[in-house]
Amino acid sequence: MKSLRYIVGNWKMNGTRAMLNEARAIDRAAARLPRVQVAVAPPATLLFRTREAVEIIGVGGQDCHVEESGAYTGDVAAAMLKDAGADFTIVGHSERRAMHGETDEIVKAKAETALGAGLSVIVCVGETEAERDAGNAEDVVARQLANSLPRSENAADKLSVAYEPVWAIGTGRVPSTEDVAAMHARIRATLVEIYGEAGGTVRILYGGSVKAENATELLAVEEVGGALVGGASLSAESFLAIVGAAASLDES
Ligand code: PGA
């Protein structure tokens, strides 16, 4: 059976309690669209309240620490996310990789810690503009996958991969559908290499400037199992337009 398209909003470092209204509106709409799986990743300060505010949608963290607990001022442990009501966490977002020096090895360790805490994980990968221009995009992403994906038993069952070209994040630029198709095919092949049959069912999300205007086209690409949405997830209206696009595709 083909799994539901998965549309995840990444609020990044945005949102105070007023944002809970957006979460509620997203939740109400998602309840009417059972053929799409919807989730939001609010900032850690809003996780618990978001969980309390919604009924249908998934709620997740944006990052977690490698260690289970300890003297890591300012960091959040996977078990704390779980305790606050998270279903999943994102790890390896390019903003974490670039601004916090997270290597593939760190991302892998975080993914393992999250799985160990009972969370699902979304592992992000993606090339820079220079890497794409040099013709290395697919090899870069395949290497990121080989080194950042968790390998513990049954890891594939609780895993999604988000392909997010760094140059497309927050820029309004998106790759061509041909490039998305080629990359997602390469990601699928790599997942099967790593996990065997289970790698065939891991959802591969596209992320980077997904908006209402391009969502239908991007979500229709072969092997695109959903979207990780940043800027356009900050209002229920713009996020739901993307969720709606996913729902309409499912009907066609
Ligand atoms: P964007 O961000 O939709 O604002 O480009 C996507 C992401 O970083 O996950």
C-alpha–C-alpha distance, residues 129 and 108, integer Å: 23
Percent of the chain residues past pLDDT 70, beyond the cut: 98
pLDDT at residue 155, as a whole number: 97
Give the mean model confidence (pLDDT) for residues 69-78: 98
Pocket of ligand 1 (CB under 6 A): 10, 164, 169-170, 207-210, 228-232
CA 124 to ligand 1: nearest atom: 9
Give the pLDDT band of residue 252 (cuts 50, 70, 90): low
Number of other residues whose CB lies within 10 A of the CB of residue 196: 10
Q: Supply 233's token pair.
A: 């997830």
Nearest CA to ligand 1 atom 6: 230
187-246 pLDDT, tens digit per residue, is 999 999 999 999 999 999 999 999 999 999 999 999 999 999 999 999 999 999 999 999
14-64 pLDDT, tens digit per residue, is 999 999 999 999 999 999 999 999 999 999 999 999 999 999 999 999 999
Give the pLDDT band of residue 1 (cuts 50, 70, 90): low
218-228 pLDDT, tens digit per residue, is 999 999 999 99
Say which DSSP state 211 is in.
Answer: -
- Cα of 126 from ligand 1 centre, angstroms: 12
Catalytic positions are 93, 164
Residue 48, classed as helix, strand or coil, is helix
Count of domains for the chain: 1
- Domain carrying residue 154: 5-249
Instruction: Compute the mean pLDDT over every residue in the chain, rounded to the nearest whole number.
Output: 97
Quick one: which of 76, 74, 3 has its CA closest to 41?
76
Give the mean model confidence (pLDDT) for residues 94-106: 98
Tokens 């900050």, located at residue: 234
C-alpha–C-alpha distance, residues 196 and 176, integer Å: 29
CA 231 to ligand 1: nearest atom: 4
Helices 177-195 and 137-148 cross at an angle (nearest 10°) of 30
Nearest CA to ligand 1 atom 7: 230
| Contact of 119 with 85, CB cutoff 8 Å | no
Longest dimension (CA), the chain: 52
Q: pTM for this one?
A: 0.97
- Cα of 169 from ligand 1 centre, angstroms: 5
CA 208 to ligand 1: nearest atom: 5
pLDDT at residue 229, as a whole number: 98
Nearest CA to ligand 1 atom 3: 230
Q: Which residues contact 144 (CB under 8 A, 6 or more apart)?
A: 92, 104, 125, 126
55: CATH: 3.20.20.70
Quick one: which of 113, 93, 220, 106 has its CA closest to 163?
93
Pairing of β 88-91 and β 5-10: unpaired
Give the mean model confidence (pLDDT) for residues 162-186: 98
Helices 236-251 and 20-31 cross at an angle (nearest 10°) of 20
Give the pLDDT band of residue 123 (cuts 50, 70, 90): very high
